[in-house]
Chain A
Amino acid sequence: MTIVARAWVSSAPQLLKPELNPDYAALVDGYGKVREDFAAKGVERIVYWSTQWLSVLGQMYQAGSELKGVHVDENWHDLGDLPFDFRVDRDLAAALCRAGEEAGFPGQTVDYRGFPVDTATIIADRLLNQERLPVTMVACNVYCDGAKTRAFSEVLSKLLMARPEKIGVVAVSHVTTSYHTVAIDLREDRIRGEAEQQFLTDFAGALTGARWQDLDGLFRDCLGSIRNDMGLKALEWLAGTMPQGLFQAPWKIHAKGALYGAAGMVASITA
């Protein structure tokens, strides 16, 4: 079929405690809206790209034949265990890998028992994929800048557009990453930094207002001075999945909020 739905989600263990903070609750509710959007569009496969799964030697694609277990977060190990059990579409992962290779993006599929799945993807899938749809995951290559990330995404999207399944593409990324560096009461969690708060407001405003031209100036003026998630390459990744590689319709931002000082966002993107 084609790519029928796209979303940006931020994900962290704090989302498992929505009762503690209205921002967490709002973000979790935002996932519900994305879930409804995916259901309405008949999504049959989900492809995750996460800034918390980093590749260094080329590209990586999750093709685990037995991708289940219990994960414990490296930072928030006291928030409990994260059991996971993914249904991985291994054929899709292999096809993506081949498409990347043919276009000059060398990579590998990973199918290893015990391979570490990142916390953000596990939690995003738990909140988004309650039907246990088959998935695959694409790593965020640390050496691909924004332009290369977009080019890579365009290559994979060309293949996804030609697939028989209805596909939902999800970028898992924070917006800003000024975490609190001391222990806080989660009930008191707020986005850290006035500049970060302003950036989130301006960033979200540009997306919901379809003012794409404002993003260049915003990035030029702000990205060097605020802590952000991987240069906000998630935007380039999602742009690469759009027809002609361009956003056109306004984004629907379902929620924004703090995730231990970082700024999170949950949004649906319409082609």
Chain B
Amino acid sequence: MAVSETGKRSKGGSQTKGAIVGGFLAPHPPHLVYGENPPQNEPRSRGGWESLRWAYENCRARIKELKPDVILVHSPHWQTVVGHHVLAAPRLAGRSVDPIFPHLFRYEYGFDVDVELARVIVEEAQAAGLESKLMQNPRFRVDYGTIVSLHMLNPNWDIPVVGISANNSPYFYDDKTGEEEMTRLGRATARAIERTGRRAVLAASVTLSHLHFSEEPNQKLPEDMSREHVFSQAQYEWDVRMINLLRDGKVDEFFEVMPDFCREAFAEVKAGSLTWMLEAMGRPRYPAKLHGYGTVIGTGNAVMEWTPPAAGAGTATGVNL
């Protein structure tokens, strides 16, 4: 199958129009990888955080059904000052050690990057008036947020990736500026996917409520689930409220209350990853599917899926197969 500058060609030779076939809220606590004990991660555990890991198992099955060409992930742990950066080295590999939880996450990663799509995202972002830049250094260490979300969605690493940084505009300026930036970035991403003919899955690598314990509850056994609970009732109620809005497809209301959520629950969605994804998907007003909710060291994490109504297994809106 030939790939052109502006779109992928089908087996029959006709021009295909790319589409986003699924979107996932894919939080990145390294504990989830630690609890799973994959061969790539050095530390060993007795398990833990199963409710979230089982939720991710559903996502893994869904991604297999969706057969995407690429997974795009937006991560708050690659924070950039000058614009939105996009991974664009053909192959990135190395060892990712979490600076906060190095005893839990020391992971050997390696994946292919969809460089053509990365280039077009940057082009579209720049055309939309955004500062944007390619990251082409092959020795770049990919942030652990990106690695954890990708592992949890696709542990075989057999689907090319595009990683996008979280520009710090929501923190440097304000919520409104940040939301505008992420909205434009999301729409630019959608146009790039359409232009390149990709079947794309998006991943927003963020936790919901983000206040957490300042010490591990059981330092001798981090996976001690008898000590795991939400940081506060108020934080839990915020998470439930926001999840229900998304489950009901009330995305506009979600965005209306998001600044309060970020302020009161220190929500990580402030970083813009979820805004980017939902705007790329055209603010989906259909119900999101909740695969699971759970806490990690007190933070609230939801694993959720948005599948465009016409994008079932093997098909996608706008794709000429």
Contact = CB atoms under 8 A, between A and B. Distances in A.
Interface of A: 53-58, 70-72, 74-75, 77-78, 81, 106, 108, 110, 112-116, 143, 179-183, 227, 260
Contacts of B99: 53-54, 115-116
A72 B139 contact: yes
B83 interface: yes
Nearest to B102: A112
Secondary structure at the A interface, as helix, strand, loop or mixed, is loop
A77 B100 contact: no
A57 B212 CA distance: 10
A240 B82 CA distance: 35
B134 to A, nearest CB: 9
A72 B169 CA distance: 22
B231 interface: no
Contacts of A55: 100
B102 A182 contact: no
A155 B81 CA distance: 35
Contacts of A112: 97, 102, 106
Contacts of A110: 102
B141 interface: yes
B137 A74 contact: no
A78 B214 contact: no
Interface string B71-97: 000000011111101000000001111
Query: DSSP class of B's interface residues: helix, strand, loop or mixed?
Result: loop
B80 A183 contact: no
Nearest to B138: A72
Q: Which of A70, A75, A108 has the most CB of B within 10 A?
A: A75
Contacts of B83: 181-183
B100 A57 contact: yes
A54 B97 CA distance: 14
Nearest to B134: A78
A115 B82 contact: no
Contacts of A72: 137, 139-141
Interchain residue pairs A-B with the least CB separation, the first 5 = A114-B95, A114-B97, A72-B140, A77-B137, A112-B102
A78 B137 contact: yes
A58 B136 CA distance: 35
Contacts of A53: 99
B81 A116 contact: no
Nearest to B79: A74
A90 B145 CA distance: 29
A75 B78 CA distance: 9
A182 B143 contact: no
Nearest to A180: B82
Given A57-B215, A58-B215, A75-B82, A182 B141 contact: no
